[in-house]
A and B are shown apart, each in its own frame.
Chain A
Amino acid sequence: MSEPATRIYTEADQLADPIAERAPLVLGGYDFHSVTEVVAAVVDQKAPRAWWIALFASMSLLGIYGVSVAWLVWEGTGVWGLNNPVFWGWAIVNFVFWVGIGHAGTLISAILFLFRQKWRTGINRAAEAMTLFAVVCALSFPTIHVGRIWLLYWAIPLPNQMDAWPNFRSPLVWDFFAVSIYGTVSLLFWYTGLIPDLATMRDRARTKWKRLIYGFFALGWRGSNRHWQNYEAAYLILAALATPLVLSVHSIVSFDFATSQLPGWHTTIFPPYFVAGAIFSGFGMVMTLMVPSREWFGLKNLITIRHLENMAKIILLTGCIVGYAYAMEFFIAWYSGNPYEQFAFMNRMFGPYAWAYWTMVSCNVISPQLFWFKWCRTTPWFLFVVSIFVNIGMWFERFVIVVSSLSADFLVSSWDYYSPTIWDVGCFVGSFGLFFTLYTLFVRFVPQVALAEVKSVMPEADPHFEGYSHGGGQPPVASSAAPSTSEANSDHVETAPFGEPVAAVVTSIDGDQSDGDSADNENGSEGEVE
């Protein structure tokens, strides 16, 4: 070990970006126990007034959603600004917007897991919860868009007397399956990751009901070696299953448009382009949530500046991919020699929806370019502002695709300009109420940072961490290295990381059995831990 066990890492250590070693992911000198204390405090303590205010504000918006949807169901989709030829309006735009946002959570928890990106542990729990809530919001829009929502179950292929089946050749039916599967797998994945942490919450619970409820959902977790083995296997398999879903869901959403023959919708690059856009918008939303969260809940040492910077880099990368797709679409529209294609793209840029197009380009392609500068990537308030631009830009992207192509269709006589009504706005703004209500409840009742996973990426979790016995003391590359004597002789009792928290971040502590268990087993094979 190059660093003593008691070293307290700071943001400066991270921003120095050491090349020869990895920047620390947990700051402030936390040990395993203080991680639990900091995260669980949000759930344990009495809800502060600010939380009630946030819940009230979110539920007020949710109320707007309720009213808008109730009026829509009562009166029919005519209350929206839909017209002929713009049969798809804000509802489909909102659907794609929310599904897209949902992609970041699964990318962070599944794909970054497979790529061994350890920094994901700080944000994966919250990002995945956000994914689930975004999927709920997304699913609500096709549901209310069908008009007669009491017949929604027709989308399910149920045997029936009329022998009426959904049209399996319709991308909308694929959507139904894709998004449902996505929601299910994401929920299972999220829940699997939660089990050890729910056990921690169970063991910390001070009231009977809390203990019973957390205990019920913790599925009898005791942190035994066998539990951990099954857990790791399940987690890996679910990650492998969720990974293709990250690509497939938004690809199928893109098929809603691209399988048609409409200029501006039908283009072969749509699937990967939509996926990149989805990840882009999803990370935008994670950023929007994480910047205030880490501030308000005192999680700055767990969701560090390094996490924010990494997310900014992914936003920059995906923003550039989206920019590539815009450019390629535009080039091929010209190259195709097809006058309808050419018109569709010129109309987007300079037609009646030019304002929306240039909003989209400014927000999605230009604003992320600021992340080339380190200051922009490491200044939380600035990241927050850009993340809002990203959200706006990605909503407009879907608006531009849906509305600009539809409004100027094949017959010039039927062209029409689309304007939303108050009920369109109510449904869209209200859906944020649904989203934030769920999120506000989440931060109150579930540990919003994955405790067990964060601990697994701390230096203490390394089997070769100073202070642990090494058994044979074999270094990783047996052929090339001699056993390190200084390691084998080090006094592990005195420097064991389970001592008092180094930084004064923790107040009083109850017994924390499962926490200790989880830490032990994260260390790898048995017998290495004292």
Chain B
Amino acid sequence: MGHHVTLPSNESVQLPAGHRLRRFPLIFGVVGVLCLAGSWFAAGGDHKAFYHSYLTAFLFGLSIALGALFFTLFQHAASAGWSVVVRRVAENLMAPLPIFALLFIPLWFGRHDLYHWTDLEHVAHDPVLLGKQGFLNEGFWMVRAAIYFGLWTLMSWWFRSKSIRQDSEGGTALSRLMQMRSYPAIMAFALTISFAAIDWGMSLDPHWYSTMWGVYYFAGSIVSAFAMLGFSVLLMQRWGLLQGIVTKDHFHDIGKLVFAFTVFWAYIAFSQYFLIWYANIPEETSFFHRRAVNTWYVLGIYLMIGHFGLPFFFLMGRTLKKIPWSLALGCVWIITFHYLDLYYVVMPNVHKSGITASLVDGLTAIGVLSIYIALAAWFLGKAALIPQKDPRLPESLAFQNF
């Protein structure tokens, strides 16, 4: 069916020369580097605490970028029409993925502080860890990390550059090509994100295991990426971009996705907790037992309310999803709680008696997020703000929710 729309002009979908987003890469880049450097000194020699805080921040930033990658892949796979006007923003949010390979280097230096399976002396006296040595050993761990970053870099670069090429070439051939490649890419994505979650998150407590773990990290990743996408587009619109291109109906849809995946996260988190609680097998309950003390217990309750209960009711109706400030509030809320969720996963391994919030936590989180934002903003300025010759653009521009 035809869509009665006029395509936006080329000038209206470029980031203007003096736009404040043009200053983001420099500002956030400097802030990010300063915060990360400062966090090292703020830790004051407590390397164990520093590396755990840093890992939390790393997994946090990475999860948003990975979620954006998944969003992009899935729009191609499902030949989605509505999302074309926001797809470039998602592509810019996934584009910084290669930087995480660089940000991974500190984890290599901190591996002994983070992962006690790297301590061969200890492993030699632990039959369970001895049995896992075929998987949990430093060499293979690094090889796997290289594979993950290699594939993520390849996927984020390829899908973004092909999409940009379509801006000049137009036509349907590139759409078909991206759709074809999106299927194997999604399979690679599913395996890499699951095993990355196992390598960097689950193996913090190498005795513990859960088949749900990969899905759990994925669930948090996808919901925070949707929230980040929504927030980015809202901000861009507030600053005069994408006017008349992204409409209430698109925001409504992004809001619905944030809502749906908030529920999905809760479903996955509940299923994992519930099955472990019910069966009550000591090998498995150790994870929640460690988090059932003192303020960690309180944080667990807060996660239930804040990562599920409140946003569930807040984002359910259509009104609040269509008002920019309330959707923005929902998005920031979800991203914040996603950080707390990862905090709940990582930090009890070092602060065993309860939450010990410190400046280092804040500085590492702001540092990694700032570097991520700086790069995403840099990529934003490098190409048109929407895939302007995507054959489905008219459909997306005409999109209405009814």
Contacts and interface: CB of A to CB of B under 8 A. Distances in A.
B144 interface: no
Given A258-B275, A260-B279, A267 B211 contact: yes
Interface residues of B, number: 60
A349 B183 CA distance: 29
A487 interface: yes
B99 interface: no
B236 interface: no
A476 B4 contact: yes
Nearest to B280: A261
Interface stretch (A70-78, A121-129, A332-340, A388-396): A332-340
Interface in B233-271: 243-245, 247, 256, 263, 267-268, 271
A251 B271 contact: yes
A482 B6 contact: yes
Interface string A242-266: 0010010001000100111100001
A244 B247 CA distance: 28
A341 B184 CA distance: 31
A338 B283 contact: yes
Contact of A484 (B4, B275, B399): B4
A175 to B, nearest CB: 15
Interface in A319-358: 320, 324-325, 328-329, 332, 335-338
Interface string B331-363: 000000000000000000000000000000000
B190 A324 contact: yes
A477 B283 contact: no
From A20, A270, A324, name the one whose CB has the most chain B CB atoms within 10 angstroms: A20
B131 A337 contact: yes
Contacts of A462: 1
User: Which residue, of B1, B81, B395, has the highest number of chain A Cβ atoms within 10 A?
Assistant: B1
A127 to B, nearest CB: 20
A268 interface: yes
A271 B213 CA distance: 13
A19 B391 contact: yes
B1 A2 contact: yes
Interface residues of A, number: 48
Contacts of A338: 283
B176 interface: yes
Given A20-B391, A244-B263, A480-B397, A475 B5 contact: yes
A336 B283 CA distance: 9
Contact of A269 (B81, B187, B215, B243): B215
Interface in A445-490: 459, 462, 464, 475-477, 479-482, 484, 487
Contact of B271 (A20, A266, A271, A372): A271
B302 interface: no
B1 A459 contact: yes
B3 interface: yes
Contacts of A336: 209, 283
Contacts of B6: 477, 480-482
A49 interface: no
Interface in A213-251: 244, 247, 251
Given A268-B212, A332-B210, A19 B275 contact: no
A329 B212 CA distance: 9
A211 B172 CA distance: 52
Interface string A405-432: 0000000000000000000000000000
A244 B399 CA distance: 26
A188 B65 CA distance: 42
A329 B247 CA distance: 43
A259 B132 contact: no
Contacts of A18: 172
B281 interface: yes
Contact of A487 (B4, B8, B213): B4
Nearest to B316: A240
Given A337-B131, A477-B398, A21 B1 contact: yes
Contacts of A247: 267
Nearest to A482: B6
B209 A335 contact: yes
A372 to B, nearest CB: 8
A477 B212 contact: no
Contacts of A22: 1, 81, 395
A264 to B, nearest CB: 12
B281 A261 contact: yes
Nearest 5 CB-CB pairs, A to B?
A475-B4, A269-B211, A268-B212, A20-B391, A479-B244
21 contacts: A18-B172, A19-B172, A21-B1, A22-B81, A244-B263, A258-B279, A266-B281, A268-B212, A268-B276, A269-B211, A324-B190, A328-B214, A337-B129, A337-B132, A337-B207, A338-B283, A372-B183, A475-B398, A480-B6, A480-B244, A481-B4
Given A19-B392, A269-B212, A332-B209, 18 more contacts: A2-B2, A3-B1, A114-B256, A261-B279, A268-B211, A268-B272, A268-B276, A272-B267, A320-B187, A328-B211, A335-B135, A337-B128, A475-B398, A476-B4, A477-B5, A480-B6, A480-B8, A482-B6
Interface of B: 1-8, 79, 81, 127-129, 131-132, 135, 172, 175-176, 183, 187, 190-191, 194, 198, 207, 209-215, 243-245, 247, 256, 263, 267-268, 271-272, 274-276, 278-281, 283, 391-392, 394-395, 397-400, 402
Interface of A: 1-3, 18-22, 114, 244, 247, 251, 255, 258-261, 266-272, 320, 324-325, 328-329, 332, 335-338, 372, 459, 462, 464, 475-477, 479-482, 484, 487, 524
